[in-house]
Amino acid sequence: MRCEFDVKMTTSALYDYNMHHAYTSASGLLGTLVGILLIVGFVNNTGMPALLVAGLIIILYMPVTLYTRAKKQVLLNPAFKKPIHYVMDDNGVTISDGENEMCVEWKDMFKAYSTNQSIILATSRVNAWIFPKKDVGEDKFALIEMISTHMPPDKVRIKQ
């Protein structure tokens, strides 16, 4: 079995990954909860505009910051300037940017999951390969099958 495709990183794909990463963590959820509680406090009890402003700032800060960071990273990171070629087979995942090539074995993969826009294959807690579904196209199901076949079920959380 073999799966092969190219990925061109976009601000949208990186932002989607960052949002998922941030809002599935305790700090992201806690920040949102605090923001909501401040807004509820404004509406229900005091009518103090400071609560409303603080709640909105807390809720809006993370998405705005993550988008800005994703846009900057896509523009400035040389690795994102051209498409990256991925080849998945029974041995692992081979990545090539035209000049350099690297292979990572399946046993070294941390976890796999999906967002609305992408399938993510994490190589550690902080590093991952992002496969936008629009780039993968028809190979999406082959990609999911490849990951599901070679990784333990408890490490795979991909929704089709």
Please indicate, yes or no, whether residues 32 and 86 belong to a single structural domain of this protein. no
Same domain? For 97 and 38 the reply is no
* Domain match, 67 and 99 both: no
Separation between Cα atoms, residue 18 and residue 15, nearest integer Å? 5
| Beta-bridge partners for 112 | 121, 156
Q: Are residues 99 and 131 in the same domain?
A: yes
How many whole angstroms separate alpha carbon 131 and alpha carbon 121?
8
pLDDT, residue 138, reads 85
Domain boundary among 76, 106, 130: 76
For residues 63 and 90, membership in a common domain is answered with no
* Residues 18 and 49 placed together within one structural domain of the fold: yes
**81-86 long-range CB contacts below 8 Å, 24 or more apart?**
82/8, 83/6, 83/7, 83/8, 84/6, 84/7, 84/8, 84/9, 85/4, 85/5, 85/6, 86/3, 86/4, 86/5, 86/6, 86/7, 86/129, 86/131
The stretches of 42-139 forming alpha helices (DSSP H) are: 49-76, 133-136
Instruction: For residue range 111-129, list pLDDT tens digits in order.
Output: 999 998 999 999 988 889 9
User: Which ranges of 110-159 would DSSP assign to H, the alpha helix?
Assistant: 133-136, 140-150
- Encode pLDDT of 12-40 as tens digits: 999 999 999 888 888 888 888 999 888 88
50 shares a domain with 103? no
Same domain, 151 and 118: yes
* Residue-range definition of the domain harbouring residue 143: 2-8+82-157
Average pLDDT for 93-110: 90
Q: Give the pLDDT of residue 127.
A: 86
What global pTM score does this model have? 0.85
Q: How many domains does the chain have?
A: 2
Question: Which of 76, 103, 118 is the last residue in one of the domains?
Answer: 76
Instruction: Identify whether residues 107 and 140 lie together within a single domain.
Output: yes
- CATH number where 95 lies: 2.30.29
Question: CA–CA separation, 125 vs 120, rounded Å?
Answer: 12
14: number of Cβ within 10 Å: 23
34-89 pLDDT per residue, tens: 998 888 888 887 778 888 899 899 999 999 999 999 999 999 998 888 899 999 99
